[in-house]
Amino acid sequence: MFLLSGQPLKARDNSVFHHLDWWTCLIYVLLVVFGWFSVCGASYVFGETEIFSFDSRSGMQLIWIGTSLVLALVILLLDYRLYDTFAVPIYCVMMVLLFLTIFNPHEIKGSRSWIALGSLRIQPAEFAKFATALAISKVMSSYRFSLSNYQDMWKAVGVVLLPMLLIIMQRETGSALVFTAFFLMFYREGMSGSVLFTAFAMVVYFVVGIRYGEDSLFGTPSSVGSVVVMLLIQLFMATLLQVYSKSRTRTYSAYAMSSMYYPRSRDNNSVMSKLSNVVILNTPMKMVTFSLGSTIVLIMLSRFVFPFNIIWLQTLATLVILGNLIWMWLNDRIRSYLLIALFGAGSMIFLASASFILNHVMEPHQRARINVLLGIDKDVTGAGYNVHQSEIAIGSGGLTGKGFLNGTQTKLHFVPEQDTDFIFCTVGEEEGFLGAVFVLVLFLALTMRLMYLADRQPFVFGRVYGYSVASIFLFHLFINVGMVLGITPVIGIPLPFFSYGGSSLWGFTILLFIFLRIDASRHLSHR
């Protein structure tokens, strides 16, 4: 009997399972088992004893676990070259399915992301993760691909943005945000750290600008949020210039050495000297001094001379810095100056549009959740109810927990979605702090193991796919546990292997075991 590779079944099985990473398989089994106990605890009703009944959530989860194990076995038995060969077709099929889901006439909690097949409901967004990981691995393993090449970089980013856009059109913002995890892999594969820095800066702008947007600065008409964000924009540009200056030190030294052997003409020196006098903010220290000094002076004038909104003059000061950066770019023809200037201009546009995005683009429930998270509203009976109840449940577990099926908050169903998005609160209540830490350690071990396996891949395709898997698991863990603890927004994404549901468990299983199959064949030579 032969499989797709044309190898005998017995020899094939021995080869695959001999090189399979059993440590990762063990962690997977432990997480799935603990996840099932958590589903039991979250869905159990006092007096009910049939936790294995297929009419109960725990019983249905057993079906999903059994079918997931079958899926894992099938994936391991298939030829490892299939995932490379059919990466793009799988991605295309999944994108078509995501597109068709947009027109699904049935809504579930305002989302059109589910496809109903009789009594079975499937969420294509869960399977789009492994399809996108395969496609991006295929693209990045192509000949002479480099993230330092802007054309290649945008090609890779486009592969990630397409499913994000389609999922957003399904009104499933949380699942769409998961795809930003691929940027962690991009960074590992050589993407400039300035991209991650820009993303970090935008988050800081949004949080500070919205949280303190209505607070008065020392009794003046100025907003604390706007003034602080504008100052941060100026300081961030100075930071980027400082980082760039260090990286260019060797280049400047070489330029100075060449000037000794090829001196410029007197006229050219005169022109350059005049231009350098025009650029007054050409060092990071000058930018920092100008930013802090002008802000302090404006605050003092508004506080003690005559009150006015200093944000307008702060904007003018920022434009002066931008003008100097552009002039430096025109003078030296060094692209980094222009990119720093574009960063500053984009930051100013983002600051001006943050309030509009919150109040006119986001859905009312999303706006309410962000306001609760940032402490603007204290709606413990409305938008903040889920988080408030989950915090109570986790806190009631204490150090060692109340024991299996003995949680009161979860058994009395005080926590909405406690067996899906908020299942971690069941872990905290029944298993306590020690149990919650143990689960987090298991996830940390899984992530670190995946990164170790990714590093030992001999080909780009396997390495990129491995880091994509690790990034997705890390993102899910951080956001899901964070929203249960009230430190990240409630965006409704599952906890891998714990949250109830077939689509989630199948999707994560396929995502993981494709990589394990690729890793098991790392010793074999292929194209």
Residue-wise pLDDT for 54-92, tens only, equals: 778 888 999 999 999 999 999 999 998 999 999 999 999
**Are the beta carbons of 457 and 83 closer than 8 angstroms?**
no
Backbone angles phi, psi at 70, to 5 degrees: -65, -45
Q: Across residues 445-471, what is the average pLDDT?
A: 95
* Side-chain half-sphere exposure of 382, counting CA atoms within 13 A: 14
CA distance 405 to 41: 5
| Most trustworthy range by pLDDT among 219-228, 448-457, 489-498 | 448-457
User: Residue 9 pLDDT more than 50?
Assistant: no
CA distance 392 to 410: 10
Position 105 scores a pLDDT of 66
**Are the beta carbons of 235 and 251 closer than 8 angstroms?**
no
Query: pLDDT for 263-286, tens place per residue?
Result: 544 444 444 444 444 457 778 898
CA distance 378 to 390: 15
**Are the beta carbons of 113 and 170 closer than 8 angstroms?**
yes
**Are the beta carbons of 468 and 185 closer than 8 angstroms?**
yes
Position 440 scores a pLDDT of 95
β-partners of residue 117 are: 120
- Residue 11 in tokens: 């020899």
Q: Where are the alpha helices (DSSP H) in 248-384?
A: 249-261, 266-278, 284-300, 311-332, 335-356, 364-373
**Are the beta carbons of 465 and 477 closer than 8 angstroms?**
no
- Tell which residue, 478, 476, 450, 477, has the closest CA to residue 464: 450
- Stated pTM of the model: 0.82
User: Residue 260 pLDDT more than 80?
Assistant: no
Residues whose CB falls within 8 Å of the CB of residue 190, separated by 6 or more in sequence, listed in order:
146, 147, 148
**Are the beta carbons of 222 and 309 closer than 8 angstroms?**
yes
Q: Residue 144 belongs to what H/E stretch? A: none
- Residue 318 in tokens: 């920022």
| Most trustworthy range by pLDDT among 85-99, 212-226, 361-375 | 85-99
Q: Residue 307 belongs to what H/E stretch? A: none
CA distance 391 to 40: 20
∠478-482-484 over CA atoms, to 5°? 130
Q: Across residues 377-387, what is the average pLDDT?
A: 67
Position 246 scores a pLDDT of 61
CA distance 465 to 317: 45
Backbone angles phi, psi at 421, to 5 degrees: -70, -30
Burial 29-60, CB ≥16 within 10 A → b, else e = ebbbebbbbbbbbbbbeeeeeebeeeebbbbb
Position 527 scores a pLDDT of 41
- Tell which residue, 457, 464, 453, has the closest CA to residue 147: 464
CA distance 344 to 346: 5
The beta strands (E) that lie in 193-273 are given as: none
- Residue 296 in tokens: 């302090």
Position 381 scores a pLDDT of 60
Query: pLDDT for 185-195, tens place per residue?
Result: 999 888 877 78
User: Residue 414 pLDDT more than 50?
Assistant: yes
CA distance 507 to 513: 10
**Are the beta carbons of 238 and 288 closer than 8 angstroms?**
yes
Q: Residue 122 belongs to what H/E stretch? A: strand 120-122
Max Cα–Cα distance, the chain, nearest Å: 95
